Amino acid sequence: MKIPFLKQPDPLLSIGYKSDQKGILNRYLREKNNWQEHLNKSADYIIRFCEQIPAESKIVILGSGWLLDIPMDYLVNKFKLIYLVDVLHPIQVKHKFRDKTNVIFVEKDITGYATDVLRIINKPQQADILVSLMNLTCLNVLEDLQYDAILSVNILTQLDSILCDFIVSKKYFPDGKLIEFQKKLQFEQLKLLTTRPSCLISDVEEVFLYKNNSIAFKSDSLKVDWPIGRHSESWNWKFDSNYLYHSRYKTNLSVKAVMLF
């Protein structure tokens, strides 16, 4: 009897990347009308950035996911290669672009820290987890790719939140103890963007609203200084109107965009 080969599950998925990716799509389907203005602004800004990048260039899209905010038709027609880099790619997205020879799927943890975080958290005799986290050295996740420009779109603050939520779920930490590690994660992502011409779009603040849309309070999602670049813009993202992100408030996100050359 032939025993079928069973693919071993990726241990990184235990961190919550797959469930987070599914959650993004579900939230989009619930909030489609509210999200559309933000998605359109993101796509338009990307096109304006890419108009300044030579045709036939090779570009990287960090945390590509469902590509909801990415003008893929425009990119596919312009660039020689498009690397979609994420820890996993939805089957639907792979199927949609299966015949596009200039679209390359690359499965990588784009924080450069996830494997080490998993090792530290699962080590039973870890004396000081916070010290170990801060002593980690970030991997250059793009070192084996040849590319000319980078798109980081609505992913910067999501990366550290996924890892930190996983850490909190495994180990008890008082509020605020992981802020320095959040800063470390966001700083390394911004540092990566300085290596090539880059387009950065990210939420920087969560705005929680009462039912009448007056502001209850705000919370910074960006833990580091916003980079100085060109053609800066900002706008509001109506993120959650169903009280599912926060049980007592609707949630908007303040978004910023900048081009780094």
- In Å, how far are 150, 191, 204, 210 from 146, measured between CA atoms? 11, 18, 30, 48
Report the pLDDT value the prediction gives residue 175, as an integer from 0 to 100: 67
The tally of CA atoms less than 13 A away on the side-chain side of residue 170 is: 19
Residue 171 and residue 118 in contact, taking contact as beta carbons nearer than 8 Å: no
Q: Which amino acid is at 118?
A: L
Task: Please name the fold of domain 11-202.
Answer: Rossmann fold (3.40.50)
- Number of C-beta neighbours around residue 225 at 10 A: 10
The residue whose two tokens read 């780094």 is 260
Give the pair of three-digit tokens for residue 227: 């980079």
Q: Which helix (H) or strand (E) holds 13?
A: none
Length of the chain: 261
Residue 89, CA atoms < 13 Å, CB-side half-sphere: 22
Please give the C-alpha separations between residue 12 and each of 7, 9, 19, 215, in angstroms, as whole numbers: 14, 9, 12, 37
- Please state the pTM of the whole predicted model: 0.92
Looking at residue 3, its pLDDT comes to 43
Q: How far is CA 230 from CA 39, 60, 76, 159, 192, in A?
A: 20, 20, 25, 24, 17
Give the separation between CA 46 and CA 163, rounded to whole angstroms.
27
Backbone phi and psi for residue 113, each to the nearest 5 degrees, phi listed first = -120, -15
Q: Which residues of the chain have pLDDT under 70?
A: 1-9, 11, 124-127, 175
What does the alpha-carbon distance between residue 224 and residue 114 come to, in Å, rounded to a whole number? 20
Reported as a single tens digit per residue, the pLDDT across 153-173 is: 999 999 888 999 998 888 777
Measured distance CA(12)–CA(113) in Å, rounded: 11
pLDDT, position 125: 67
Nearest-angstrom CA–CA distance, 104 and 84: 6
